[in-house]
Amino acid sequence: MNETYKELTKALYKARIESQVADNELKSIRDTFEAEVKPKKETAKQLAKAAEDAKTALTDYAKEAYQTSTLDDDGPVKMNNSTEIVIDEVKAMAWARVKMPDAIIETLDMATLKLLAEKHPEWATVTKGKKPIVATDLSKFVES
């Protein structure tokens, strides 16, 4: 092994060890963080659900009160004009194909195209050759 090759291998080996140490430290910090935060996160999630349930109950009550003209004008809920839109995607797609094709976004399935690429040089460039693969365990190359 020539000197440049050996030095580059040592540099990569050292970088991998330092990276592993940093990853281990990060994992330790993450584990500690998750142990402390997970219960609080679950509590926050439960409290948010309780708040959402309370809001739903209040708005449902306000809708009833509004329909029976008993909604307090000075209360915490006001009735505003609103519009709710529900789109039947199948029917909307059929309409858009005929009336508004620009509304349809197309995407390519790259995995399928990669399988077909060699047979279609008109839209794909395939380059074959050798590619360097670095060994996972470099310790035997840097000892000496």
Question: Which pLDDT score, from 0 to 100, does residue 67 have?
Answer: 86
What letter does residue 112 receive in the DSSP assignment? H
CA–CA separation, 123 and 110 (whole Å): 12
DSSP characters over 96-113? HHHH-GGG------HHHH
Q: Which residue has the tokens 């039947």?
A: 88
pTM for the whole structure:
0.44
pLDDT, one tens digit per residue, over 75-133 is 888 888 888 888 898 999 999 999 998 888 888 888 898 999 989 989 999 998 888 88
Tell me the two tokens of residue 33: 């963080």
Rounded distance between C-alpha atoms, residue 140 and residue 144, angstroms: 9
